[in-house]
Chains A and B, each alone.
Chain A
Amino acid sequence: MKYKAMIGLEMHCEISETNTKVFSSAANNYSDTPNTSVRPVDMAFPGTLPVVNKEAVKKALMASIILGCKQPEYMYFERKNYYYPDLPKGFQLTQETPPAPVGLGGKVEFECDGKKKEVRIFNLHLEEDAAKSEHEGRISKIDYNRAGVPLLELVIYPDLNSADEAVAFLEHMLQIYRYAGISEADTRKGQVRCDVNVSIMDENLDSNNPKNWGTKVEIKNVNSLGGVRDAINYEIERQSELKEQGRYEEVEQETRRWDEDTMSTIHMRSKVDAIDYKYFVEPNIPKIKISKEWLEEIKKDIPKLAHERKEEYINKYGISNYDATILIKEKKVADFYEETIKKGADPKSASNWITTNLLGHLGKLEITMDDITLTPTMLADMIKMIEKGDISSKQGKEVFQDILTSGKTPEEVVKEKGLKQMSDSKEIVKIANEVLDENPNTIDQYKKGRTNVVDFLVGQIMKKTKGQANPTIARQTMQEEIEKR
């Protein structure tokens, strides 16, 4: 391609891990039955006032610290004034004008296709979500459960150059929010929404010189990572085509929206029609001093993040880079892994069982970690049974399938299926000799050098014991016993 894309993002992610909304005592779970998590302030009844949720502020500060932003001396909010039916107050509480934002500056480093990439942060702010409107034909419905849900908006400089990079960046951010216990960051629940801005410029020109930059087009409300990818690619192509045709002046500084149905971006408004939001400081919330002590406390409370866990898995547990990457991809999986080790499982075995069996089954059954009844204790118990030789690893796989979603413990399954492995050598010696007695011709064949008859004989032991004999002991015993003949 002759053109280089410059892509910036405004990433909105709901803080889902607080009990209540950001300025209201209503529960923060907007996927509940519509209009059940609502207090008078969420519908802006006259005389209601915002009360800051300290937990939300803490989570926002935590994100700011993790991203290496500068924290302000005081926490306060501004009103962004505009009229819309899903905005009951007629303004949104946010942090627009410096030094209001909870985070200023900072950098995010992430990997895309194995290459390290860095983007600069413009700011991070804590704000409230609007209500959710649903349009059905001529009827519009509003769900106020979402009104006042805490929202973190991260604004970055246009340091991204491709749709892939944008998606990798977003995935990295979502992982941070999940690991830090800030948000589930579930795109399917609509917790993540992005505004994307895209411009193109000649590839051979210096991108550090603003004179070379192209016209910036903003695309609003892209609600999935796939959407972000498609919207960026669409927009790059649209702008490149116009440029190619010598019609670049038709690219105007405008706001467009991503339309899922037509897979295209559609003009919303031009720069000249930009809304004046008349920002001013919310007078009902006194400035809250952010003390150094508080920041230190929050710093201490930051949970181990994905990259820290990955390093630990590799260095402490000897897990391969490949497997460690799989383990940390989803926080719930990493948590499950660590818990399984805590319950006494060998770290390598636990990693193998999780990366191959557990994730394999989830994929096959199209279920998530939330749908399984398997607990780390169960998996650890099962791994220990195999280690002790109580069951074979083949039996283990059978047991695993059964304990995944049935709610049963490994002990119960082993008992039910009569899977207990026979490791008693005296018993196996007895059975080995029974087998030899029943197949006298094999002894001859063995003596003549056809040592592979042992495989057949071990098979017979397994058959006789319904697979419960420890295969290693069975083989060893058979070898010894046939030699004795």
Chain B
Amino acid sequence: MTYMDKGLKEIHKALKEGKITSKELIKESLEKSHKLQEECNAFVTILDDAKEKEVTDDILSGIPYGVKDNYSTKGVLSTGSSNTLKDYVPFFTATAIENLEKHGAIMVNKTVMDEFGMGGTGTTGHTGTVLNPWDKTRMCAGSSSGSAAAVAAGVYPYATGSDTGDSIRKPAAYCGIVGYKPTYGMISRYGLFPFASSLDHCGVLTRSVEDAAIVTDGMKGLDKNDMTSWDSSNINLYESLNGNVKGKKLCYVKEICDIANYPDADDELKQHLKNFMDTLEKAKKLGIEIEEVSVNQTLLNAQPSVYVVISCAEATSNMSNLTGFIFGPRAEGDKYDIEMKNYRTKGFSPLIKRRFVIGSYVLQAQNKDRYFHNAQRVRRLLVDRWNELFEKYDAVILPVGTGPAKKLEGASNILDKQTQTLEDHLQIGNFGGFPSITIPNGFVNDVPVGLNITGKCYDDANVLNIAYAIESTMNYSGQIAKEVK
């Protein structure tokens, strides 16, 4: 009998009834960690000396979990999957992790990510590519790649993630699990290595909406160290799940979902969009009203560039603290600026350096208004449009990406231009700080695909409840990755 592949409530019950101990859970989780490490390369660090904790009435107590490697963890290597921090052991713990520890949760490993969260492939971490446990020829997506792979493989019921563009919600979709980022500021970012502060969210990857609610309840809260955090003590996400969604209203965006927009669509995309439409029908049977809405195509087309401009600008500034002087492996050089240059040139991968160049370019005095300020203006327009939708609808429901996870090699790029918005629309959730959750939505070519539900700020309970109800119409909740090839 294994437990790490079960839901939190079931594991908790077993612990309370004495069918299993916290120590045994850790053992199981560590064994699975090592196995998955060999197969998929999901971890930077596996904590073989993880200690059991007392089992209390707290559902999270005594149960192992994983932490994305951009969360600062006291005494435990925290690299952000970057060579620039390959030996960095922090002396303080991120607030979100500290909160989980207070609930008795047990960290058993630190998961691989795209370097500092920049990238959506799981191929740019300094310890190598993370493979998709469903199909090792495919990517996990990212940047919370290791967390997604480990939860999908049943290493533990949940792992933390972070999400600047879609870094929780996309790998969750590609790994057939649930990925949730709550409203901006619900979970403190103190101790999360920043990528783009105005877009960065902490969040969680689980195998069910219910577990996502339980874990988020454990992570969230006002934090005096994060001025953007807010008091959510009157919100209990887990207790708010009742599955009662009669009369709720959802909308989907025609310009993103209509197959007619994609004349060159391949079979995977066709199947993916069909899955999506089928699920909408199931949702309607629950009493949810669903309508198609239209959003200005020009506005939608601008969205991916807006993300690139803003995220790169903030990133280049946020990562200016990485000089090798105070932390990180100090570089050689006979002058401070040479040391700094050597450290950064050798430490960062080419992808990150490319983004720094973009970020610097768009912030330069002569370019700032044209790029950075215009990007902020379009960000506002998109957020306003989505808020307008939220006046009429409880949430926007959309398919995640163009299908299942991409192949690691030989992926075709033909569709890129047509499908750019379909690929990247989850970033709108970051633009607005909206609560946004991805749940599994069946399979295409035997590998998982997902759908996303995004609502208005502070309406997390409503968004989760809708996801909870729609999840109940399908059989993918709690599923563990079965290798297809």
Interface residues of chain A, those whose CB is within 8 Å of chain B, are: 40, 43-52, 79, 81, 83, 85, 88-91, 140, 276, 278-280, 283-286
Contacts and interface: CB of A to CB of B under 8 A. Distances in A.
A47 B68 CA distance: 13
Interface of B, helix, strand, loop or mixed by DSSP = loop
B166 interface: no
Interface stretch (B43-51, B271-279, B285-293, B312-320): B312-320
Nearest to A282: B197
B328 to A, nearest CB: 9
Nearest to A84: B336
16 contacts: A45-B321, A46-B85, A46-B321, A47-B190, A49-B189, A49-B226, A49-B227, A81-B363, A83-B337, A89-B320, A91-B317, A140-B336, A280-B372, A283-B197, A284-B197, A286-B228
A44 B321 contact: yes
A49 B190 contact: yes
Contact of B192 (A45, A47, A51, A280): A47
Nearest to A51: B227
Contacts of A91: 317, 320
Interface stretch (B88-96, B236-244, B253-261, B462-470): B88-96
A97 B196 CA distance: 21
B132 interface: no
B191 interface: yes
Contact of B364 (A79, A89, A278): A278
Contacts of A283: 196-198, 314
Contacts of B189: 47, 49, 284
Given A48-B190, A90-B319, 12 more contacts: A45-B72, A45-B92, A46-B72, A49-B226, A51-B226, A51-B227, A81-B320, A91-B320, A278-B363, A280-B313, A280-B317, A283-B314
Nearest to B366: A276
B1 interface: no
B227 A52 contact: yes
A130 B396 CA distance: 46
B365 A276 contact: yes
Give the top 7 A-B pairs by smallest Cβ distance, nearest first.
A90-B320, A283-B198, A278-B363, A44-B321, A283-B197, A47-B191, A46-B193
A88 B191 contact: no
B72 A47 contact: yes
Contact of B321 (A89, A276, A280): A89
A371 to B, nearest CB: 39
A83 B316 CA distance: 12
B484 interface: no
Given A46-B193, A47-B193, A285 B227 contact: yes
Interface residues of B, number: 46
A448 to B, nearest CB: 93
B194 interface: yes
A279 B368 CA distance: 9
A44 B360 contact: no
Contacts of B94: 47
A88 B321 contact: yes
Contact of B336 (A46, A47, A85, A90): A85
A83 B225 contact: no
Contacts of B192: 47
A286 B197 contact: no
A123 B336 CA distance: 34
Contact of A46 (B90, B224, B226, B340): B90
Contacts of B326: 43-45, 88
Contacts of B190: 47-49
Nearest to B319: A90
A79 B317 contact: yes
Contacts of A284: 189, 197, 226-228
B227 A47 contact: no
Nearest to B185: A286
Contacts of A89: 320-321
Nearest to A140: B336
For B70, B363, B364, which residue has the most chain A Cβ atoms within 10 angstroms? B363
A90 to B, nearest CB: 2
Contact of B80 (A43, A46, A88): A46
A35 to B, nearest CB: 11
Given A79-B317, A81-B320, A50 B363 contact: no
Interface in B297-352: 313-314, 316-317, 319-323, 325-327, 336-337, 340
A286 B383 CA distance: 17
Most B C-beta atoms less than 10 A away, residue of A40, A46, A49, A89: A46
Interface in B70-115: 70-72, 78, 80, 85, 88, 90-92, 94
A46 B368 CA distance: 26
B368 to A, nearest CB: 8
A140 B198 CA distance: 35
A89 B325 CA distance: 11
A50 B365 contact: no
Contact of A49 (B71, B91, B198, B225): B225
Contacts of A46: 72, 78, 80, 85, 88, 90, 193-194, 321-322, 327
Contact of B227 (A83, A276, A286): A286
Interface in B166-197: 189-194, 196-197
Nearest to B230: A286
Given A52-B227, A284-B197, A45 B327 contact: yes
B90 to A, nearest CB: 7
A171 B101 CA distance: 55
Contacts of A278: 317, 360, 363-365, 368
B323 A90 contact: yes
- Among A49, A85, A90, A140, find the residue whose CB has the most chain B CB atoms closer than 10 A: A49
A437 B423 CA distance: 121
Nearest to B341: A83
B92 A90 contact: no
A366 B270 CA distance: 89
Contacts of A279: 363
A47 B189 CA distance: 7
Nearest to B92: A40
A90 B324 CA distance: 12
A91 B90 CA distance: 22
Nearest to B84: A46
Contact of A51 (B70, B225, B336, B340): B225
Contacts of A88: 321, 325-326
